[in-house]
Amino acid sequence: MKKAFITKEKAEEIAAKFPTPFYVYDEKGMRENAEAVKKAFAWNPGFREYFAVKANPNPFILDILKEYDCGMDCSSLIELQISKALDFDGAHIMFSSNDTPFEEYAYANKIGAIINLDDITHIDFCEKACGGRLPETMSCRFNPGGVFTLSNGIMDNPGDAKYGMTREQIAEAYKIMMSKGVKHFGIHAFLASNTVTNEYYGKLASQLFELAVELKKETGADIKFINLSGGVGIAYKPDQTPNDIAVIGENVHKVYEEILVPAGMDDISIYTEMGRFMMAPYGAVVTRAIHEKHIYKEYIGVDACAANLMRPAIYGAYHHITVLGKEDAACDHKYDVTGSLCENCDKFAIDRNLPEIEMGDLLFIHDAGAHGYSMGYNYNGRLHCAEILLAADGSFKKIRRAETPMDYYATFNEFPIYEKLKAENVK
Ligand SMILES: *Cc1c(COP(=O)(O)O)cnc(C)c1O
């Protein structure tokens, strides 16, 4: 059973102030989870979670994570600038980018972020961007190639992924970087996405720990941290068993004791860059049913669309839906729940069994707290909706306003049409 973290009454109370659709975030849930993550890795004194900013770049949310000593995992200039503006220091900013523009390395270096190189050919490029001198602490991203499998059948294909360096390249990269003055190193890898199993981090960690031992032998590099990156999933579907971060932390601990400690590498810090696990369950889209349509199938049209939450449209991703106020009603109607985009993939659910939906009902689309708002786009001239933070005491506040037509038109401001558009939007 998946339960919405707000009631219909609360959702209507919010909607009376901030019209639907909107994102709502559960502050209590995200705080408890951040605490649990910290606790799960407390055995490692240097542990730090660098939240993947791309999953949810809202400054209010990042500020909450800051209270738990989280760092920020950035992959673009904008994400770096937001982190800097929130007063994260360099040690709390990881720059894990790929296909990185020159200016972004330069900026990351300027603010003292830890740069995680995606490729061996970036060494010289990054050195130039850093004004001719690489930072003292750097990281390299590893891609072992082949197929990564877990015992429950979860599979991913690092060999097809554009990220990271081969085994030979990473040793070579360390040597080159050492010759250029880099003193402390990290290893990073991201081998499988949204893994709903407690096994993933432990298995990845054992691979990376062995690699660390080998790299130290081969290159003499001083390895300071191992970054397990993201990939820890959440139970989007009601029949899935959620990951238990305490078990995951213990699995990593076990292989740390087995591999790193005997090798005398017992001072290595464990870093993570979780996005989804940190935030997905604690955000939802609240949207109102505005149309019903009876043709070859039964459709419910809502006031949100794929421009607000793109995952179902682009990945066919499942997002659970609760019809607020009808939590206990029988799911005896089968619907496609659609948005308004002129794209047939704009469906939040297909053939979904739900309670009978009446016009005006509020739908709670679960697990949209990560890769939700941030993936939104403006296709069809649809605008980003507002984001609302719900506190433990039931109070709520706007943490990002909805876009307005003038936001959309802002990039026409050098052209005559802008004034005409402005005139259309005078209230
Ligand atoms: C996307 C991403 C993450 C976060 O992944 P999740 O699956 O959301 O945890 C972490 N690190 C890097 C480099 C990423 O690109």
Residue 427 has pLDDT above 80, yes or no: no
What is residue 14's predicted lDDT score, i.e. its pLDDT?
Answer: 98
DSSP state of 387: E
Ligand 1 centroid distance, CA of 393 (Å)? 31
Confidence label for 152 from pLDDT (cuts 50, 70 and 90):
confident
Regarding whether 359 and 273 lie in a shared domain, the answer is no
Structural tokens at position 323: 């019809």
In the chain, DSSP finds a helix count (H) and a strand count (E) of 13, 19
Structural tokens at position 197: 């199993």
Phi, psi of 253 (to 5 degrees): -55, -45
CB of 280 closer than 8 Å to CB of 369: yes
Strands (E), 234-391: 269-272, 283-294, 298-302, 321-323, 333-338, 347-354, 362-365, 386-390
Q: Ligand 1, closest atom to CA 96?
A: 13
CB of 284 closer than 8 Å to CB of 3: no
Spell out which residues line ligand 1, taking CB within 6 angstroms.
52, 54-55, 73, 75, 96, 190, 193-194, 229-232, 273-277, 370
Regarding whether 259 and 285 lie in a shared domain, the answer is no
Ligand 1 centroid distance, CA of 274 (Å)? 6
Regarding whether 163 and 303 lie in a shared domain, the answer is no
Regarding whether 151 and 216 lie in a shared domain, the answer is yes
**Distance (Å) of CA 401 to CA 50, 127, 288:** 26, 40, 18
Regarding whether 258 and 328 lie in a shared domain, the answer is no
Structural tokens at position 100: 């990185």
333: which strand partners? Answer: 354
Ligand 1 centroid distance, CA of 195 (Å)? 12
Ligand 1 centroid distance, CA of 158 (Å)? 14
Please state, in angstroms and rounded to a whole number, the distance separating the CA atoms of residues 86 and 83. 5
- Write the residue with the smallest CA distance to atom 7 of ligand 1: 231
Regarding whether 100 and 33 lie in a shared domain, the answer is yes
Q: Ligand 1, closest atom to CA 370?
A: 8
Residue 20 placed within a domain: no
Report the C-alpha dihedral over residues 82, 268, 46, 276, rounded to 10 degrees. 50
The region of weakest confidence among 152-161, 230-239, 333-342 is: 152-161
Residue 233 placed within a domain: yes
Q: Ligand 1, closest atom to CA 55?
A: 8
Ligand 1 centroid distance, CA of 193 (Å)? 8
At which of 245, 278, 311 does a domain end? 278
Residue 8 placed within a domain: no
CB of 255 closer than 8 Å to CB of 231: no
Regarding whether 310 and 245 lie in a shared domain, the answer is no
At which of 278, 304, 335 does a domain end? 278
Residue 391 placed within a domain: yes
Q: Ligand 1, closest atom to CA 233?
A: 7
Strands (E), 259-317: 269-272, 283-294, 298-302
Regarding whether 143 and 179 lie in a shared domain, the answer is yes
Residue 214 placed within a domain: yes
Residue 22 placed within a domain: no
- Write the residue with the smallest CA distance to atom 3 of ligand 1: 230
Regarding whether 349 and 248 lie in a shared domain, the answer is no
Average pLDDT over residues 322-340: 98
Regarding whether 369 and 274 lie in a shared domain, the answer is no
The DSSP-derived string for 41-102 is TTTSTT-EEEEEGGG---HHHHHHHHTTT-EEEE-SHHHHHHHHHTT--GGGEEEE-SS--H
Ligand 1 centroid distance, CA of 266 (Å)? 26
Ligand 1 centroid distance, CA of 271 (Å)? 12
Average pLDDT over residues 307-330: 97
Residues with Cβ within 8 Å of residue 248, at least 6 apart in sequence: 40, 198, 200, 201, 202, 232
Q: In this structure, what CATH number is given to the domain that contains residue 388?
A: 2.40.37.10
- Write the residue with the smallest CA distance to atom 5 of ligand 1: 230
Regarding whether 305 and 260 lie in a shared domain, the answer is no
Q: Ligand 1, closest atom to CA 116?
A: 13
Full residue range of the structural domain in which residue 211 is found: 27-278
Ligand 1 centroid distance, CA of 75 (Å)? 10
Q: Ligand 1, closest atom to CA 54?
A: 1
Q: In this structure, what CATH number is given to the domain that contains residue 103?
A: 3.20.20.10
Confidence label for 252 from pLDDT (cuts 50, 70 and 90):
very high
Residue 366 has pLDDT above 80, yes or no: yes
At which of 245, 261, 278 does a domain end? 278
Confidence label for 155 from pLDDT (cuts 50, 70 and 90):
confident
Residue 3 placed within a domain: no
**Domains: count for the chain:** 2
Residue 307 placed within a domain: yes
Q: Ligand 1, closest atom to CA 193?
A: 7
Kind and range of the H or E run holding 226: strand 222-227
Regarding whether 134 and 79 lie in a shared domain, the answer is yes
